[in-house]
Structure 1
Amino acid sequence: MQVAVLAITRHGVALAGRIVAALPGARLFAPEKFRSEAEAAAPDAAQCYTGRVGDQMPAWFAAVDAIVAIVSLGAVVRLIAPHLGSKESDPAVIVVDEAAQFVIPVLSGHLGGANALAGHLAGALGATPVLTTASDARQTLAVDLLGRELGWVFEATHAELVRCSAAVVNDEAVALVQEAGRRDWWANHANGRPGPLPANLTLFEKLEDVDADHFAAVLWIATRAMPAELAARLAGRRIVYRPGSGT
């Protein structure tokens, strides 16, 4: 990931150096007045700017995969608000307090990888990750991350993602059909899941065994095309996951 680590105070710059060290390829951005501190904290990875920090945000949004800001949460919300596009394209945004007690994903927690990055940073800093997405807070399935760590890709509309995600976190009946791919994905799912699969998920080995009328959503892991009749019945409430070769 291309990561911009933003610090605007002297103590923040020192912490930013630790964050850059934990993220290979990350760069530290700080005000020009802290150039000497920034270059000492992150040798060969420091870049200083003049003017307002808000003026730098459009370039960072366009150029990086993630922004880690050692800035107050409220200030970060105001800084990024004018540049928000969509969860499919916005960079991950994470806030870290100057005492390195908390790491808070603010934007693009799942698709942008902010939650996963926050978990990594929390481990490196000895901090607490503050994950507020429902699936992470409840340690349940994140439908837009299923198999991601294995390289799986999903096929679904935005509306289908929303509906299926709601079904999972609201404890509605969900059919999970796995016809392909590795079976050990749950242990490493979304920063790791220590418990069993959620009780509202029913496992199947073949899509044709699912009585669609009994489930609010269907999650199908397969390499074959969905039969036309089932595709019509499940439209709007299904996600298809495609494992790659060997995954």
Structure 2
Amino acid sequence: MSPDNTAPPRICLVAITKHGAAQAAMLAQQLPQASLCVAARFAEATKGLSNPVQAYEGAFKDQIGPLFQAFDQIVFFVSLGAVVRLIAPHLKNKDEDPGVLVVDDAGQFAIPVLSGHVGGANAMAETVAALLGATAVLTTASDVGKTIPVDILGRELGWHIEAPKLNITRVSAAVVNEEAVALVQEAGSPHWWTRPTPLPPSIHRYTRLEDVDLTRYRAVLWITHRPVDDALWQTLHERLVVYRPPVSSASQCHTEAAA
């Protein structure tokens, strides 16, 4: 996965069958920035495209390692079971693995397989589904439950997450299990909630951490520029996740006034 979240994702459309190559070529027309990797004997389907095309010979499994190294999003027009077996030896962790999704040969379903949130496969599946007239099949709990994705909250606004990985896991569980969660926003754009539905009732919003009775909440999401002292991390243990929006001169003044 590209370390620069502001750069356009490097996308590759992969096909090993005749029908898959045709679907990949159709999608490539609408994603001119995407590369293609197709079996050489079906490469005719990509003729006339401006996209970079790799027509591979030999065993398809030999392509997986290089694809994982070169791309941020890999769209396989290959069966789900085959993709799971092919990518298994190459998996590291969700901070490094690319987003992986599969599309069936008929172009009916787009299914995120790997790195749905951090790697962007969920968002990519929705994009692919819209372009192909397909259905995105999302299984990530926060997407299905239409609640806060703790691990990527505010990422499109340039926010950075600050918390141990265990905290992110514990707090994510509290959110999707609809336990009481305090969301404290002292900084950053207020326009981070883009779903058409309101925030779930288990999420309670505050504008200052001092207003929160920490004993009432299973977890705390704190959007702030303020420093977090060791005592607070220890008090909340695995229940705290902090988000750092970009600092402007106006927000810096607000932070200093609140401190």
- Provide the TM-score with structure 2 as the length reference: 0.89
Alignment of 1:14-29 (within 5 A): 14-29=22-37
For residue 44 of structure 1, report the CA deviation from its aligned partner. 4.3
Q: 1:93·1:107 contact (CA, 8 Å) conserved in 2?
A: yes
8 Å CA contact 1:122, 1:129 repeated in 2: yes
For these two proteins, the number of residue pairs brought into alignment is 241
Supply the distance in 1 between the matched residues of 2:31 and 2:186 (Cα, whole angstroms).
36
Using the alignment, how far apart are the partners of 1:130 and 1:61 within structure 2?
Answer: 22
Task: Confirm whether residue 240 of structure 1 aligns to residue 242 of structure 2.
Answer: yes
Aligned to 2:16: 8
Residues 28, 51 of structure 2: 8 Å contact kept: no
Q: Give the deviation of 1:224 after TM superposition.
A: 1.2
**Structure 1 residue identity aligned to 2:226:** R
Q: Deviations over 1:151-201 (max 9, x none)?
A: 1111111111110000000011100000001111101xxxxx111001101
Identical aligned residues as a percent: 52
For 2:200, the equivalent position in structure 1 comes to 198
Shift of 1:83: 0.6
Tell me if structure 2 keeps the 8 A contact 1:22–1:121. Answer: no
Partner SS for 1:144: helix
| Pair 1:119-2:126 in alignment | yes
Aligned: 1:214 with 2:221? no
Q: How far apart are the structure 2 equivalents of 1:235 and 1:44?
A: 49
Counterpart in 2 of 1:89?
96
Q: Distance in 2 between matches of 1:19 and 1:245?
A: 39
Question: How much is the aligned-residue C-alpha RMSD, in angstroms?
Answer: 1.4
Equivalent positions of 1:14-163 (< 5 A) are: 14-40=22-48, 42-163=49-170
Residues 7-59 of structure 1: CA distance to partner in whole angstroms, max 9, x if unpaired?
1111111110122233342111111112322334x344211111011011011
* Structure-2 separation of matches of 1:170 and 1:21: 41
Per the alignment, residue 226 of structure 1 pairs with 228
Q: Deviations over 1:188-233 (max 9, x none)?
A: xxxxx11100110111111111111111110000011124432321
Structure 1: which 5+ runs fail to align? 188-192
Change (3 A) 1:207 1:46: same
Secondary structure, aligned partner of 1:90: coil
Q: Which runs of 5+ in 2 are unaligned?
A: 1-8, 252-259
TM-score, scaled relative to structure 1: 0.93
SS where residue 186 of structure 1 aligns?
A: coil
The alignment partner of 1:167 has SS state of helix
